[in-house]
Amino acid sequence: LYVKDDDYRLSFLHGNYITLSDLDEGAFERILDQRLSPLYVSVHATDPELRHALLGRPRHSAEILPRLERLAKASIRVHAQIELCPGLNGGPHLERTLFELAPLHPSVATTAIVPVGLTRHRERLPQLRSLTAVEARVLIATVEAWQARWLAALGSRLVFLGDEIYLLAERPLPPAAAYEGFAIAEDGIGLVRRFEDGFARSVARTRKPIASGEVTVVSGEMFAPRLVSLLDRAGIDTERVRVVAVPNDFFGRAIGVAGLLTGRDIQRCLASRPDLGRAVLVPSVALRDVDGVFLDDQTPADLARDLGVPVRIVATTPAALLKAIRDV
d(CA 39, CA 327): 41
pLDDT, position 114: 96
**Per mean pLDDT, which range of 105-114, 211-220, 296-305 is the poorest?**
211-220
Tell me the residue length of the chain. 328
pLDDT, position 213: 80
d(CA 38, CA 217): 36
pLDDT, position 3: 54
Using pLDDT thresholds of 50, 70 and 90, give the confidence band for residue 277: very high
Give the H or E element holding residue 109: strand 108-115
Tell me 67's DSSP state.
H
Q: Rounded mean pLDDT of 314-318?
A: 94
Residue 245 vs residue 61, higher pLDDT: 245
The string of pLDDT tens digits covering residues 156-181 is 999 999 999 999 999 999 999 999 99
Which 3 state secondary structure label does DSSP give 154? helix
The string of pLDDT tens digits covering residues 119-157 is 887 777 778 888 999 999 999 999 999 999 999 999 999
Report the chain's mean pLDDT, rounded to a whole number. Answer: 91
Q: Would you say residue 112 has pLDDT above 90?
A: yes
Q: Which amino acid is at 262?
A: T
Using pLDDT thresholds of 50, 70 and 90, give the confidence band for residue 104: very high
* Helix spans in 35-132 (H): 48-54, 65-73, 91-101
The string of pLDDT tens digits covering residues 43-80 is 999 999 999 988 887 766 778 999 999 999 999 999 99
pLDDT, position 1: 43
Whole-angstrom Cα Rg for the chain? 21
Q: Is 7 exposed, middle or buried (0-12, 13-18, 19+ CB in 10 A)?
A: middle
Residue 296 vs residue 213, higher pLDDT: 296
pLDDT, position 91: 95
The string of pLDDT tens digits covering residues 8-25 is 888 888 888 999 988 888
Nearest Cα neighbor of 196 from 222, 218, 173, 180 is: 173
pTM recorded for the entire structure: 0.88
